[in-house]
């Protein structure tokens, strides 16, 4: 894949992408949401510019092509776009789109969230929606979610449930939502006391393998600003409940801690090395906190001290690299019960040539 589902550039522009299911007919050719996200990060120095880049691409090329590696799987996209001063949410249905500026907090999931409260929209949106029979108009402003959302797929994906979960968590922080809160939110399970095998698509940290969880979290990232500097805390691995968020400075010296993860198991890839543990944990029955690793808070504190030094010491890159090494060392000492893998993971491991 050329694109990415989340990312940050050297200006601190951060974008996250979510699948949304609409009633629009899929075009045979066009751009994936991940393509548009990556191009926007390449070309934009603020959130509004990134928004304009994506909507311009959408107007010109539309959305098309399958979004899955293993099968034909089609969806439209929503985006959460931010920089140090502003944030926007952009939701799409085919070539139609609406955008809303964020003034307090926002979260997105696999569901359209913008109704008639948008600030910007695609050209002649309401007229085209009326002409296409998607809105009775023009007596009242178009309700974008109501006009375009596919109710069946949206309900099956439980996007509304995850949306409620994340928004409630942010709201309950009383305006003091911080890095620790963000990590905790991304690790949230609805019924962790019943074991991870009871997970479903309503979990923020989603574990695959069960009847109601056909897929799982692939990776997690937190974009933040420390002393005005764009910083990323990323797992680089799949399940955040058993991964360490490792810090990186954006826009400084680039580094690759380990090779990227391809379709096949590769021991030189950090993602695949950690994935051995995660796939064993599919049937783990203890609370997730029992398998988290200890050095995370130490990483964050040491990193903050390094960021405060101007210019950045060369040690800051080496420190980020060392976090990956230390996590691998920790993983090697974690004992997880050897349990029978279910059919789903047997099949996935076979495809990846992972014994």
Give the confidence band of 8 by pLDDT, cuts at 50, 70, 90.
Answer: very high
Do residues 193 and 73 share a domain?
no
User: How confident is the model over 155-179, as pLDDT tens digits?
Assistant: 887 888 889 989 998 988 877 889 9
Helix ranges (H only) for the chain are: 33-43, 47-61, 125-131, 144-148, 151-157, 159-171, 179-186, 270-280, 296-307, 315-332, 343-351
Give the confidence band of 289 by pLDDT, cuts at 50, 70, 90.
Answer: very low
Tell me, yes or no, whether 158 lies in a domain: no
User: How confident is the model over 252-265, as pLDDT tens digits?
Assistant: 666 666 677 888 99
Do residues 293 and 189 share a domain?
yes
Do residues 204 and 108 share a domain?
no
Tell me, yes or no, whether 102 lies in a domain: yes
Domain that holds residue 231: 178-355
77's enclosing H/E stretch is strand 76-82
The span from the first CA to the last CA of the chain, in angstroms, equals 26
What's 185's DSSP letter? H
Give the confidence band of 328 by pLDDT, cuts at 50, 70, 90.
Answer: confident
Tell me, yes or no, whether 163 lies in a domain: no
Do residues 35 and 93 share a domain?
yes
Do residues 221 and 329 share a domain?
yes
Domain count, the chain: 2
CA–CA–CA angle 74, 80, 84 (5° rounding): 155
Beta-carbon contacts of 251 under 8 Å, excluding residues fewer than 6 positions away, are: 9, 10, 11, 230
Tell me, yes or no, whether 262 lies in a domain: yes
pLDDT score of 290 more than 60: no
What does the pLDDT read at residue 34?
Answer: 92
What does the pLDDT read at residue 287?
Answer: 46
Do residues 78 and 203 share a domain?
no
Beta-carbon contacts of 23 under 8 Å, excluding residues fewer than 6 positions away, are: 93, 134, 148, 149, 150
Do residues 142 and 6 share a domain?
yes
User: How confident is the model over 133-158, as pLDDT tens digits?
Assistant: 778 766 678 999 999 998 887 888 78
Q: What is the pTM of this model?
A: 0.89
């Amino acid at each position: 894949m050329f694109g990415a589902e989340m990312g940050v550039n050297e200006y601190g522009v951060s974008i996250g992408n979510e699948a949304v299911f609409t009633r629009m007919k899929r075009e045979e050719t066009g751009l994936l949401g991940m393509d548009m996200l990556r191009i926007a990060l390449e070309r934009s120095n603020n959130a509004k510019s990134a928004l304009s880049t994506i909507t311009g691409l959408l107007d010109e090329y539309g959305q098309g092509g399958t979004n899955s590696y293993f099968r034909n799987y089609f969806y439209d996209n929503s985006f959460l776009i931010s920089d140090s001063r502003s944030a926007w949410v952009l939701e799409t249905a085919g070539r139609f789109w609406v955008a809303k500026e964020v003034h307090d907090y926002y979260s997105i999931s696999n569901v359209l969230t913008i109704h008639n409260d948008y600030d910007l929209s695609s050209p002649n949106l309401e007229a085209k929606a009326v002409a296409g029979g998607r809105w009775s108009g023009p007596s009242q402003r178009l309700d974008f979610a109501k006009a375009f959302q596919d109710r069946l797929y949206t309900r099956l994906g439980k996007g509304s449930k995850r949306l409620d979960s994340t928004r409630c968590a942010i709201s309950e922080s009383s305006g003091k939502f911080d890095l620790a809160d963000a990590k905790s939110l991304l690790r949230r399970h609805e019924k962790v006391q019943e074991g991870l095998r009871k997970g479903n698509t309503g979990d923020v940290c989603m574990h695959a393998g069960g009847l109601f969880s056909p897929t799982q979290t692939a990776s997690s990232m937190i974009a933040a600003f420390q002393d005005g500097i764009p910083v990323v805390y990323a797992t680089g691995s799949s399940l955040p409940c058993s991964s360490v968020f490792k810090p990186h400075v954006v826009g400084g010296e680039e580094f690759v801690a380990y090779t990227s993860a391809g379709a096949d198991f590769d021991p030189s890839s950090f993602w695949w090395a950690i994935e051995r543990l995660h796939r064993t944990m599919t049937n783990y029955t203890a609370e997730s906190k029992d398998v988290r690793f200890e050095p995370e808070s130490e990483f964050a504190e040491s990193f903050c001290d390094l960021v405060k030094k101007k210019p950045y010491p060369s040690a800051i890159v080496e420190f980020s690299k060392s976090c990956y090494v230390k996590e691998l060392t920790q993983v090697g000492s974690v004992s997880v019960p050897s349990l029978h893998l279910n059919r789903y993971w047997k099949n996935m491991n076979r495809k990846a040539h992972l014994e």
